[in-house]
Amino acid sequence: MPVHPLDLIAADSLLDEEELAIRDTVRQFGVDRLQPHIAEWFEAGTLPARDLARELGGLGVLGMHLEGYGCSGTSAVAYGLACMELEAVDSGIRSLVSVQGSLAMFAIWRWGSEEQKQQWLPAMAAGEAIGCFGLTEPDFGSNPSGMRTRAKRDGSDWVLTGTKMWITNGAVADVAVVWAQTDDGIRGFVVPTDSPGFSAPVIKSKLSLRASITSELVLDNVRLPDSAVLPEVSGLKGPLSCLTEARFGIVFGVVGAARDCLETAIDYSVNREQFDRPIAGFQLTQKKLADMTVELDKAFLLALHLGRLKDAGVITSEMVSVGKLNNVREAIAIARESRTILGGNGITLEYPVLRHANNLESVLTYEGTEEIHTLVIGQAVTGLAAYR
């Protein structure tokens, strides 16, 4: 009897009953509610974000690792496992959840006023309200400190002007957490998306993360009360703290995408015959499958280790960089290698492998590019910063 790649290291034995129950619930939800539609959503270049948010909110996925305000209050490991199951379906769905929980909700939960928390978090946890997170700009991606979006004082109000780019959930959001320059450095603002002057045109023609809504945010003299600013933080530390949260979810998430690719490749290669035998029986195929299995297992162990460190409260952002760099890099390699095993079938939407590989191109870039995480690690081990 063939063994599942993750059973080769008895991966489940490292999880407790509650973690397994949460994992299994999200997996079942994925099989029942997401898998049947995902190829269609990807092809159409959209996703029913509102309906999905409500369903995911009902399960308790949104902001699940946060305490209070209607959030589930699970462990970080449980949150990671949920990301893994969602990304096993599609990185776009995991992105919806990451941006909602780890970027928008986390920003308000960690740096917001009590009033902001009461107003937004319970609705966002339930999926009644969708959030987005506006940091990147057309001219400032890897280097957000140069951002041009500005918030100016006008009496006791704030007036925001600028453009944000590549904003996940932007066009479907009820609330945007927007980062802008002020006279006292970078500050975060909680912007209701029905504010006059706010618009979120959708970015079309993506070849990656198609089952996700990506927008520009245009802020044309958006007037906000003083209470809209996130009171507890100023400087880049604000957005970077949120990114560390979301990257943590990616470290687990991409293991799910890679797992789905490898499962597909194994299944396909055992059943596909060429030269009168299953292609899985050829040594070249087995080398691919064995190498992918080893990398998948290592990626899982790294993710879980970082999860335990996060639950123990001792994780650092550099540790998360190690996880993001390795796991995304290996996941995309597994997706591409799996694609070769499926031959021509591998390029269709009939199978998930090229969809995952294409999605992972975005994942490689957002939340800190592969190069930036390399430089973070380089700086950590040398003490020399190479990128600024």
Partner 1 sequence: MRGLRRDRCPLPGPVTGLTVPLSDLEMIGSNRSGRLTGESVTDPSWDQQNTDGPAIARALRLVPGGAFAVVRIVVCVKQVPDSWAEKKLNPADNTLDRDAADAVVNELDEFAVEEALQIQERLGGPDDCQVTVLTVGPEKAIESVRKGLQMGAGDGVHVVDDAIHGSDALATSAILAAAIERLAPDLVLMGSESTDARMSVVPAMVAERTGRPQLTFAGKVDIADGTVTVQRVTDYGYDVVEAPLPALVSVVEKINEPRYPSFKGIMAAKKKPVETLTLADLGVEPAVVGLSGSWSAVQEFAARPPRAAGTVVTDEGDGGTKAADFLSAQKFI
> According to CB under 8 A, which one of 11, 34, 61, 325 is a site residue for partner 1?
61
> According to CB under 6 A, which one of 49, 107, 372, 376 is a site residue for ligand FAD?
372
Q: Which is nearer to partner 1, 17 or 183 (by Cβ)? A: 17
Cβ neighbours, 10 Å, residue 283: 8
Shortest reach from residue 225's CB to ligand FAD, in Å: 24
On whether the CB atoms of residues 74 and 22 are closer than 8 A, the answer is yes
134 binds ligand FAD (CB under 6 A): yes
Binding footprint of ligand FAD, residue count (CB under 6 A): 20
> According to CB under 8 A, which one of 25, 46, 234, 369 is a site residue for partner 1?
25
168 binds ligand FAD (CB under 6 A): yes
166 binds ligand FAD (CB under 6 A): yes
Per CB under 8 A, which region of 13-21, 224-232, 261-269, 319-327 contacts partner 1? 13-21
15 binds partner 1 (CB under 8 A): no
> According to CB under 6 A, which one of 72, 362, 373, 376 is a site residue for ligand FAD?
362
In the set 55, 367, 370, 371, the catalytic residue is 367
Shortest reach from residue 72's CB to partner 1, in Å: 4
Shortest reach from residue 227's CB to partner 1, in Å: 30
Per CB under 8 A, which region of 54-62, 183-191, 247-255, 273-281 contacts partner 1? 54-62
Instruction: Tell me the two tokens of residue 9.
Output: 């290291």
Shortest reach from residue 267's CB to partner 1, in Å: 15
Q: Which of the choices partner 1, ligand FAD, none does residue 369 contact, using the CB cut-off of 5 to 8 A by kind?
A: ligand FAD
Active-site residue, 367 included:
yes
Three-state helix/strand/coil letters over the chain: CCCCCCHHHCHHHHCCHHHHHHHHHHHHHHHHHHHHHHHHHHHHCCCCHHHHHHHHHHHCCCCCCCCCCCCCCCCHHHHHHHHHHHHHHCHHHHHHHHHHHHHHHHHHHHHCCHHHHHHHHHHHHCCCCCEEEECCECCECCCHHHCCCEEEEECCEEEEEEEEEEEECHHHCCEEEEEEEECCEEEEEEEECCCCCEECCECCCCCCCCCCCEEEEEEEEEEECHHHECCCCCCCHHHHHHHHHHHHHHHHHHHHHHHHHHHHHHHHHHHCEECCEEHHHCHHHHHHHHHHHHHHHHHHHHHHHHHHHHHCCCCCHHHHHHHHHHHHHHHHHHHHHHHHHCHHHHHCCCCCHHHHHHHHHHHHHCCCCHHHHHHHHHHHHHCCCCCC
Phi, psi of 290 (to 5 degrees): -70, -45
Residues between 17 and 46 that touch ligand FAD (CB under 6 A) = none
Shortest reach from residue 66's CB to partner 1, in Å: 12
Cα angle 83, 36, 324 (rounded to 5 degrees) comes to 20
Q: Which is nearer to partner 1, 65 or 187 (by Cβ)? A: 65
Per CB under 6 A, which region of 46-54, 65-73, 160-168, 186-194 contacts ligand FAD? 160-168
369 binds ligand FAD (CB under 6 A): yes
Binding footprint of partner 1, residue count (CB under 8 A): 16
Shortest reach from residue 61's CB to ligand FAD, in Å: 18
As annotated, the active-site residues are 367
Residues binding ligand FAD (CB under 6 A): 99, 133-136, 141-142, 166-168, 209, 214, 362, 365-366, 369, 371-372, 375, 387
